[in-house]
Amino acid sequence: MITDKYVLYLVILKTLFASATLYYFAVYLGFDMFTYPDFYTSYGNCTEKPYTNILYSKLFCDLSSVTGKIITHRSPFFIFLAALINMLILVAYFKIFERYLNKQGKYLLIILFVIHPYINIYFFRFYTEIFASLGIFLILFYKIRNLNINFFFVITAIILINFRNALIPVFVLYGLYEIYSQINKKKSKVILYSIILIIASLLTYLSVMEFSSKFISINSNVNFFEKIAYNIILAFGFRESIGVSRDIFVLDDWFDILSFATSMLLLIIHFVGLYGVTKLSLKEDKSILVIFIYLAVPILAVSHMRYLVPLIPVLLFGFSYILFKNQNEQI
């Protein structure tokens, strides 16, 4: 039984809004909410070795082999599992961030978690972004709780990296920072775990190096600084179709106008949130900012808000923190 009223509000309202979003897109608009081209071209193609996120592909291929049935991300079990994991992530974020917010801030954070369109759209999707979300949360949890890197952290990180390779630069930089911060404190175990994490991350990168090089080369003909600026804007506020076409100002019908207005609002919320997280990090622990390295590769190649999904809860907290900081916070 849930005794925390804030968590109860979050769980009930999130379930309702995410379900309503699924119904609206799937039934009213006739949109396939579980379209995932990468699944069928790579992850679900069990006759060939996947070019990235190997454990994600292996999960479905092994289950299909054992059951004798084709198991995909559309399976009811994985839809339910995605909803459960995403709900637990939001609840966990709320619990670690609530100390920094006053009463109004807690309610605002709940509202933002509940109504954010991209959190709702991805709530039932068992995509690789789920594992990125878990990886980002793992780092945030250890930093906010002031925990040293340990065996559990390293093993969990290695598993998550092989489900979502985009976490590689995040954990490499995190490991390097841990070595730098602990070397004068002579915490040999922390340093050893950090070295193991870095080596494991780099070994994983070797298996996806070819794909990574091809991905980075996307839009290589575009002016570098223009590409960076454009990709930052796309990552913080625009959907995938805009990210691919790179045409922000498509306003042909009411849906395009509504989408553009929503993107502008999300841009403001996310950038203010980034400022809030940065402000807290500079005050408490600068290494928290390591999580934003997750966006480095998309910003260098092609970007849209799907890549921001694992970071959105953190940015929504940052937005709430700027407006309703708990003046009596004790870290």
Cα–Cα distance between 227 and 249 in angstroms, integer?
17
Say how far residue 125 (Cα) sits from the centre of its chain.
13
- Residue entry with tokens 């940015």: 315
45 belongs to a structural domain: no
pLDDT digit string, tens, across residues 298-318: 998 888 899 999 999 999 999
44 belongs to a structural domain: no
What is the structure's pLDDT at 25? 86
What is the structure's pLDDT at 215? 79
Q: How many domains does the chain have?
A: 1
The structure tokens listed for 226 are 């223009």
Residue 101: exposed, middle, or buried by beta-carbon count in 10 A (0-12, 13-18, 19+)?
Answer: buried
The residues pairing with 101 across neighbouring beta strands, listed in sequence order, are: 325
Q: The domain containing residue 81 runs over which residues?
A: 5-36+73-323
Cα–Cα distance between 66 and 276 in angstroms, integer?
47
What is the structure's pLDDT at 199? 97
Cα–Cα distance between 62 and 28 in angstroms, integer?
35
Question: Is the distance from CB of 97 to CB of 312 less than 8 angstroms?
Answer: no
What is the structure's pLDDT at 246? 65
Nearest partner of 174 among 193, 151, 188, 155, judged by Cα: 193
Bin 53: left if φ > 0, else alpha if -120 < ψ < 50, else beta: left
Tens of pLDDT along the chain (331 residues) come to 555 899 999 999 999 999 999 999 888 888 888 888 788 778 878 878 777 899 999 999 999 989 988 899 999 999 999 999 999 999 999 999 999 999 999 999 999 999 999 999 999 999 999 999 999 999 999 999 999 999 999 999 999 999 999 999 999 999 999 998 888 777 789 999 999 999 999 999 998 888 787 877 777 778 888 889 889 999 999 887 676 656 676 777 777 788 888 999 999 999 999 999 999 999 888 899 999 999 999 998 888 899 999 999 999 999 999 999 987 764 4
Cα–Cα distance between 265 and 269 in angstroms, integer?
6
101 belongs to a structural domain: yes
272 belongs to a structural domain: yes
Residues 6+ away with beta carbon under 8 Å from 5: none
